[in-house]
Structure 1
Amino acid sequence: MADQYFAEQPTAPSSPVPARLDVAGLSLTVTTDSGVFSRGRLDTGTRVLLEHAPEPETGGDLLDLGCGWGPIALWLATVRRRSTVWAVDVNARALDLVRANAAAAGLRNVRACRPDEVPEDVVFAGMWSNPPIRAGKAALHELLLSWLPRVGGPSYLVVAKNLGSDSLARWLGDQGYRVARVSSNAGFRVLEVRSGVEE
């Protein structure tokens, strides 16, 4: 089986390459690597998310779930420099890249860590994520049900239409969440997910 970007320890030999992150007012040179999602470029789904999802409404702790090499976390940390941005992934190589990319950009408000390293008492003001759809529906559902209850504000997810964005939206609704489509662009939908309890 080919090495998956959601593996904890990628088996593909490390082969770092630079990439440009030019999106939503952000312009950085970053480092990417094999064994990590979207080596050498900003993927289309994440670009759609960053170009169409709103900036955080407030400060506080912000979450990039499934951060990869860090484009969402770097954007959040730039637009909300007083916020702590939690860049969470199971892939150790991805987390090393996030740390290096944040340091190179002078962003000291990024904390790259594994899921079990996030303190249980942290409540997030918002979440932005290009979730690992290819990990499978069961794993995706478990992931979202673990993290969405920890988000006090809106969560923004980008999902390809042909990979089940509409069925995911219906499933989230069945779990009691309020789901709205923010954007449909380049084959991707950006979903806004909020707690079913009126704030």
Structure 2
Amino acid sequence: MADHYFTATPSVASRPGEVRLHADGVDLTLATDTGVFSGGRIDRGTRVLLDAAPMPPVRGPMLDVGCGYGPIALTLAARRRRLPVWAVDLNERALGLTRANAQRAGLGNVTACLPDEVPADLSFAGIYSNPPIRSGKPALHALLLRWLPRLMPDGRAWLVVAKNLGSDSLQRWLEHEQGFPTVRLVSEKGYRVLEVAPREP
């Protein structure tokens, strides 16, 4: 496939499908398609993140960065139906799927949009991401530096990264170069889940 899943408008022909998502009391059937991240199945890293990452320690909006067709955002929304969940992606096909999946599941607390459409003054109690590592280190760092500063003072972010794709070096970069206190929450199935706290004032 010439496109990557982080292409804004995938050129690959649409081939709709479905996957089932089971995650700690959440049972959803999600529409998928070609040209989006892990369209044929729930990615293993996403499963590790959903199993390991808790709800935020404070009450407030939540954010799924790089939402794809919505498995993380919809799981969060199903677990906290009274809290807003923002789902951002550059991929228009992915955003359309997230919106359709939220409507199908009756999850009116999900807003799927482009990053620039998130209100600039909005802070988040929890940020969750299976980030696009293959977009390259500069793009990944820019993505994280865009969103992590928007954590509420007592909020947390959870990132899942494959060990062989640089999870340990990313942890060092976040903590030692960028000042975000970061701990390894779990290491499972070749993936690390990193828990990131806001920078010290």
Normalised by the length of structure 2, the TM-score is 0.96
CA separation in 2, counterparts of 1:86 and 1:94? 14
What letter corresponds to residue 192 of structure 1 in structure 2? E
What letter corresponds to residue 79 of structure 2 in structure 1? V
Q: How many residues align?
A: 198
Conserved in 2, the CA contact under 8 Å of 1:59 and 1:80? no
Gaps of 5+ in 2: none
What letter corresponds to residue 189 of structure 1 in structure 2? R
Conserved in 2, the CA contact under 8 Å of 1:74 and 1:102? yes
Indicate the percent of aligned positions where both proteins have the same amino acid: 61
Conserved in 1, the CA contact under 8 Å of 2:61 and 2:126? yes
3-state DSSP class of the match of 2:168? helix
Conserved in 1, the CA contact under 8 Å of 2:149 and 2:199? no
CA separation in 1, counterparts of 2:99 and 2:24? 21
What letter corresponds to residue 188 of structure 2 in structure 1? N
CA separation in 2, counterparts of 1:181 and 1:25? 25
Deviation per residue, 1:74-122 (Å, 9 max, x gap):
0110111111100000000000000000011000000000000001011
Q: 1:177 aligns with which of 174, 177, 180?
A: 180
- Residue 58 in 1 paired to residue 58 in 2? yes
3-state DSSP class of the match of 2:124? coil
- Residue 197 in 1 paired to residue 165 in 2? no
Gaps of 5+ in 1: none
- Aligned residue number for residue 29 of structure 2: 29
CA separation in 2, counterparts of 1:65 and 1:24? 21
Deviation per residue, 1:44-89 (Å, 9 max, x gap):
0000000011123333211000000000000110111111100000
The Cα shift of 1:196 comes to 2.9
The Cα shift of 1:24 comes to 2.4
Normalised by the length of structure 1, the TM-score is 0.97
